[in-house]
Structure 1
Amino acid sequence: MSITVAVDEPNDCVIIRVLGSFDFSLFNDFRAAYTDLSTTYERYIIDMSQVEYLDSAALGMLLSMRNAIDLPAQIELKGANDFIKNILMISRFDKRFEIQ
């Protein structure tokens, strides 16, 4: 369970990679991943390709991120497996995030 952050300055983008279980144990690290940046960016990509488990706390963390980052900044949820993508769609996250 870990989070890594990469900043892509030329593309005005931040990539946050979540590995393993995306749950409450990552609360502080996930929040720091977008609040500790020195500036705001046009795009935030949450790479979920290595997420094995997602719970309601993770959904809440994503919503908190959406509320903390001013529009028109875009948040993309990428690489989720079919099971996790289904949870995101049932939770209607496609209305607040771009899901790929």
Structure 2
Amino acid sequence: MSISVSVNDDTNAVTISIVGSFDFSLFNDFRAAYSNLTKTYALYVIDMSTVEYLDSAALGMLLSMRNAIEQDSNIQLKGANVFIKNILMISRFDKRFDIQ
């Protein structure tokens, strides 16, 4: 379980990659990944291509992120497997996030 952040100032985008389980154990690291940035970006990509497990705490963390950053910034949830994408759709996250 880990989180990495890569910033691309040329495209005004940040990619936050999550590996393994996306659960409460990542709470502080996930919040720091977007709140410790020096500026606001137009696009935040949450790379979920290597996420194996997602729990309700992770859903809450995503909602907290949505509330914490500028409303005109886009958040993409990208690369989730079919099971996780289904959880996101059932939870109606497609209304607040761009699910890829």
TM-score (norm. length: structure 1)? 0.99
State the partner residue of 1:76. Answer: 76
Paired residue for 1:8? Answer: 8
% identical aligned pairs: 72
The residue that corresponds to 1:37 in the other structure is 37
Match of 2:51 in 1: 51
Unaligned segments of structure 2, at least 5 residues = none
CA distance in structure 1 between the aligned counterparts of 2:26 and 2:99, rounded to whole angstroms:
21
Alpha-carbon RMSD across the aligned residues, in angstroms, is 0.3
How much does 1:70 deviate? 1.2
Output the amino acid matched with 1:24: F
Deviations 1:32-66 (A, max 9, x none): 00000000000000000000000000000000000
Structure 2 counterpart of 1:91: 91
- By how many angstroms is 1:86 displaced? 0.1
Q: Which runs of 5+ in 1 are unaligned?
A: none
Can you list the C-alpha shifts for 1:4-28, whole angstroms capped at 9, x where unaligned? Answer: 0000110000000000000000000
CA distance in 2: counterparts of 1:8 and 1:49, whole angstroms: 19
Query: TM-score by structure 2 length?
Result: 0.99
Number of residue-to-residue matches in the alignment: 100
Shift of 1:71: 1.4
